[in-house]
Amino acid sequence: MFIKKIKNQYLEVRTSHLEVGLSSKGFSIIELIVVISIIGLMSTVMFANYRQGERNTALEYTAQEMAQDIRKAQNLSLAGAQLNGEFTYGYGIHFDKNNRTEYFIYGDVGAQNKNENIPVYQYHNKEDEKIIPNPIVLPSNIEIKDMDVDIDIFFAPPDPVTYINGVFTAGTKIEIKICFITDNTKCKTIKVTTAGRVEVN
């Protein structure tokens, strides 16, 4: 009788430990699944934010590079730089409405009226302009938006005077907007005034 009682108590203790062990193991698996799910969710969010940040950086860099190219044309004109040993009437930057993924800097080595040597203050004749050195191509996912006509910004020495589409009118400005091709809500605007100021917004 005594031995049977001890045996029953022993079996109860073992059964109790076994139940606790199974319960503990079950809780650990659930906890592990929860932790893995949280880590996966956080990784997805972080990766999405990283990609978005990378895209925004690319757009900002492209806008700043375009502004720098406009200033390059301005500085070349200010310095009175010759182009391949030829006199220039100034330097400009040209945006073609039919090609919104590139633009180019040029030097005007010709004139609108060659007999009178009258400069036209904008890109007018491929034979009379020289491109420096080649068209600048935008990244594959970025293009110029809202451009119904060609845009031409020309700097005439010695000041230099800023002409927008061949015209100088004090206090006027031109804006060039670049956006992601797949997302028109993500844009940057480069603004140029006839005072020669270049800004990125």
Report the share of the chain in percent with pLDDT over 90.
50
Residue 111 confidence (pLDDT) above 80: no
Residue 33 confidence (pLDDT) above 70: yes
DSSP H stretches of helix in 80-179: none
Per-residue confidence (pLDDT) for residue 32, from 0 to 100: 78
Residue 3 confidence (pLDDT) above 50: no
Residue 26 inside a domain? The answer is no
Domains: count for the chain: 1
Residue 45 inside a domain? The answer is no
CB 200 within 8 A of CB 190: yes
CATH code of residue 195 = 3.55.40.10
Query: How many angstroms separate the CA atoms of 10 and 17, rounded?
Result: 11
Query: How many angstroms separate the CA atoms of 171 and 65, rounded?
Result: 25
Residue 193 inside a domain? The answer is yes
Residue 39 inside a domain? The answer is no
Report the share of the chain in percent with pLDDT over 70.
76
Could you tell me the pLDDT band of residue 172, with boundaries at 50, 70 and 90? very high
Residue 3 inside a domain? The answer is no
Residue 22 inside a domain? The answer is no
Residue 80 inside a domain? The answer is yes
Q: Does the predicted TM-score (pTM) go above 0.95? A: no
**What DSSP character marks residue 126?**
G
Domain of 85 in residue numbering reads as: 51-200
